[in-house]
Structure 1
Amino acid sequence: MARWTVTFTDKPEMDRVRGDRKRREAHIAFVRARPELQIGGALAMRPMQDFPGAIWNVEAESRQDVERLILQDPYFVASLRSYKITEWGTASAIQGMLS
């Protein structure tokens, strides 16, 4: 099982999606029902700022599994939210590269 970080970048219009109470409740239920989504939250560059994106830490077998998770999220709107998936390195893998 690998660990992944997903960094979401939102367009300003994403505020409409976040402001929809039913969609927000569906997103929260979705996140809580996914144990592979270990931690996540909104990104803000400074306090009290609108969120320009979000970040997730995910444990999954493959990048495709992570992408499937993203596409199922009620908050994901392709025209308003882009994402970058990054696999975590492990200490042993990094040590092997340095040797």
Structure 2
Amino acid sequence: MRFVVRTFDNPARIAIREEYMQAHLDYLAENDQEILVAGSLRESPSNSPIGALWIIEAESEGRATQLVERDPFFRKGLRNNYELLYWSKAFPHLVTV
């Protein structure tokens, strides 16, 4: 199953981003068979991130939730909320994700 995850950062915990960035990137790399796309979201290109968007391929909603909640950014409190949605991709022949 495919999922889209939209995370929301806790503005009071922004310093966690710098401190745990490498651990976060390592986590994404370790789970790249399931976390297919990941990246920060910003209100404009020059602004700081306010959250992230992931596309996940997982066997279940429970597994997708585990992937989100085991991320160092979530465990250390940078992410204060997220939404997990089932995703049905249109035009599957156009993009490999």
Q: Counterpart in 2 of 1:70?
A: 68
Identify if the C-alpha distance between structure 1 residues 54 and 71 changes in structure 2 by more than 3 Å, giving closer, same or farther: same
Alignment equivalent of 1:54, drawn from 52, 55, 60: 52
What TM-score, normalized to structure 2? Answer: 0.82
Count of aligned pairs: 88
State the Cα distance separating 1:19 from its structure 2 match. Answer: 1.8
Q: Counterpart in 2 of 1:9?
A: 8
What TM-score, normalized to structure 1? Answer: 0.80
In structure 2, distance between residues paired with 1:90 and 1:47: 26
Tell whether the 8 Å contact from 1:41 to 1:54 is kept in structure 2 after alignment: yes
Tell whether the 8 Å contact from 1:13 to 1:80 is kept in structure 2 after alignment: no
Identity %: 28
Unaligned runs of 5+ in 2: 91-97
Identify if the C-alpha distance between structure 1 residues 27 and 79 changes in structure 2 by more than 3 Å, giving closer, same or farther: closer
